[in-house]
Amino acid sequence: MASRPKLSGIQKQVLALYRGFLRTARLKAPEERRRIESVVSAEFRDNARNVDRRNFVYIRVLAEEREEAA
């Protein structure tokens, strides 16, 4: 089994935020759950494509905004 590279603190924070949104979606009705999961995954995918991975300040700001919204 290949070992995964260690995640940085910000990567762990973003991953925990993503998982938290998906966990919360599980508490909703099936049709609303699918809509929430779709919006969450699209938002995170869009940010993964469009935000420079080395721009830690901006990534932290995005993560903190999402945490406040949660």
Residue 4: the pLDDT is 83
Chain centre to alpha carbon of residue 56? 15
Residue 3 has pLDDT above 90, yes or no: no
Residue 1 has pLDDT above 70, yes or no: no
pLDDT class for 38, splitting at 50, 70, 90?
very high
Mean pLDDT for the chain? 91
Please indicate whether residue 67 or residue 40 has the higher confidence score (pLDDT): 40
Quick one: CA torsion of 4, 8, 10, 11, rounded to 10 degrees? -10
Provide the residue ranges of all domains of the chain, joining segments of one domain with +. 9-69
Find the radius of gyration of the CA atoms of the chain. 13
